[in-house]
């Protein structure tokens, strides 16, 4: 089984942790940066709160139960749902959803092959 990496995401004072296949962590980091860059261009009134990916690490041991560990596909599915619910149909939303869904499809395939 491929090695896993972990992303640390922060929204305000809340932390989230995402476990990703090591081969896909760079894509999560790049996607998070792009989403933050482009979300300010959206004009919809129902934009999701988007945590910032603040760190990547190879090992993670959570000792506090208040901080959940999401698997990468679960996180991307939530992200896709949040962006799909935005009431806007123009660029950059279409482009952002395409990128989210591309990573979603890659992770679905990865989990199928490695389950």
32-45: per-residue pLDDT in tens?
999 999 998 888 88
How do the domains of the chain map onto residue ranges? 4-114
Phi (first) and psi of residue 56, to 5 degrees:
-120, 145
What are the pLDDT digits (tens) for 76-87? 999 999 999 998
Among the listed residues 43, 40, 44, 34, the one whose alpha carbon sits nearest the alpha carbon of residue 98: 34
Q: Whole-prediction pTM value?
A: 0.92
Task: Identify the three-state secondary structure at position 22.
Answer: helix
Cis peptide upstream of residue 92 (ω within 30 degrees of 0): yes
């Amino acid at each position: 089984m491929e090695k896993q990496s972990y992303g640390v995401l922060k929204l305000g004072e809340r932390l989230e942790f995402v476990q990703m296949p090591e081969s896909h962590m760079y894509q999560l980091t790049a996607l998070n940066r792009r989403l933050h860059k482009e979300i300010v261009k959206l004009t919809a009134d129902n934009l999701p709160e988007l945590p910032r990916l603040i760190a990547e690490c190879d090992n993670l041991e959570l000792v506090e139960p208040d901080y959940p560990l999401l698997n990468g596909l679960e996180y991307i599915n939530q992200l896709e749902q949040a962006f799909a619910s935005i009431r806007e149909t123009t660029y950059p939303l279409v482009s952002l959803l395409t990128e989210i869904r591309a990573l979603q499809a890659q992770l679905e395939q990865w989990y199928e092959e490695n389950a």
